[in-house]
Amino acid sequence: MPAVTNDGAVTVTSAAVPAGAVLKAGIAETNAGAMYIVDVNGPQTTATTQPPGDNSTKISTTAFVTTAVANAIAGVNPAVAVLAATTAAGDTSGLTYVNGAAGIGATLTGAVNTAVTIDGVAFTAVGQRLLVKNDTQSPAGAFNGVYAMSVLQTIALAPVFVRASDYNQPSDINNTGAIPVVSGTANALTSWLLTSAVTTIGTDALTYAKFSVNPSGVATLWANTFTGNQKFVETTDTVYGITDGAAFEIDPTNGNIQTITLGASRTPAATNFAAGQCILLGIDDGTAYAITWTSVAVTWIISGGTATAPALATTGYTWILLWKVGSTIYGTLVGSP
């Protein structure tokens, strides 16, 4: 069992020093290698910190671990929401920028006794936050960022926005997540993510991309509220049989699935085919009859890029999907002939 002495030394009597072992500072050998005496208050070993991204199995220094943990936390650093966000360069083109001390204390200042309204939102109190993302004053994009109102306009004062204290250094800016926007005609309930890297505040452009949209702008797929046990009923579409004729009509109003058995080679018409309609047409060639599509003037989309009408199968149905966009009827082969 180890024994602790009053001077902080730990005596280990059950361990032998391996042949050729080199004792480090703070470790003394006694009795010909029979035990170690370790001074826990003695000198500690230091090492050169590994470069970022070093994934070897070497022992890590405290500096390396501290940096790795800090970077991991920064990678999921949530952004503080802003009241509003700019929508156009004109929102801030009338404001004057001063860069402060390398970004710390940088300001955007307006005109005396002139309120600032961005995306329909009026700034009325000190501390309200603004995301500037559309500024084009030279250098373009460099004045973008997150600001907080520090001076509210009065009859004698101009409104002033200062770069937010949590967003005025490259380490803050580059490691902040998507920025939520609370209000605004265009930007309410959206969020914006920085897509550029910033090294120098006031010089490097800050570029933003929309990260999430306002949920109210997403189409509702299920408008009904279901309660209790629900039963979903299978629906079917009646297959309409076209009467064979020299110029038989392909009419979607008769149903989305139609079939015809040819009694001779035919040239169909589609006078009632309206834009936005489609039909699945099954054609039985009878006794090796053919279809001529000159009246319908179908634009064929066939696998492999062959822009010609498909040949009819000699047995069973040849299934063709037809649909109309604008004034053009398109067609493609569904079944293999």
Task: Give 251-282 pLDDT, tens digit per residue.
Answer: 988 888 999 999 999 999 998 899 889 999 99
Q: What is the mean pLDDT of the chain?
A: 82
Same domain, 208 and 96: yes
In a domain, 151, yes or no: yes
The residues with which 180 forms a beta bridge, in sequence order, are 191
pLDDT per residue over 165-179, tens digit each? 999 999 899 988 899
In a domain, 286, yes or no: yes
Same domain, 21 and 139: no
Same domain, 190 and 102: yes
Same domain, 275 and 192: no
In a domain, 276, yes or no: yes
Same domain, 165 and 109: yes
pTM to 2 decimals? 0.49
Q: How many domains does the chain have?
A: 3
Residue 274's domain comprises 240-333
User: In the predicted model, is pLDDT for residue 33 greater than 50?
Assistant: no
Alpha-carbon distance of 91 to 125, in angstroms, equals: 18
CA 169 distance to own-chain centroid: 25
In a domain, 131, yes or no: yes
Same domain, 26 and 103: no
User: For the residues 68-77, what does the mean pLDDT come to?
Assistant: 64
Same domain, 267 and 326: yes
In a domain, 230, yes or no: no
Three-class secondary structure of residue 231 per DSSP: coil
For strand 160-163 and strand 145-151, is the pairing parallel, antiparallel, or unpaired?
antiparallel
| DSSP letter for each residue of 282-330 | EEE-TTT--B--TTTT-EE--TTS--SPPPPPSSSPEEEEEEEETTEEE
Three-class secondary structure of residue 63 per DSSP: helix
Strand order in the sheet with 179-180: 179-180, 191-194, 208-212
Of the residues 216, 248, 279, which one is the last residue of a structural domain? Answer: 216
pLDDT per residue over 99-149, tens digit each? 999 999 999 999 999 999 999 999 999 999 999 999 999 999 999 999 999
Q: Find all residues with CB under 8 Å of 229, minimum gap 6, and list them.
A: none
In a domain, 255, yes or no: yes
In a domain, 231, yes or no: no
Same domain, 139 and 171: yes
Same domain, 8 and 88: no
Same domain, 120 and 209: yes
Same domain, 290 and 256: yes
Of the pLDDT bands very low, low, confident and very high (cuts 50, 70, 90), residue 31 is very low
Same domain, 108 and 203: yes
In a domain, 306, yes or no: yes
Structure tokens at 249: 């009509």
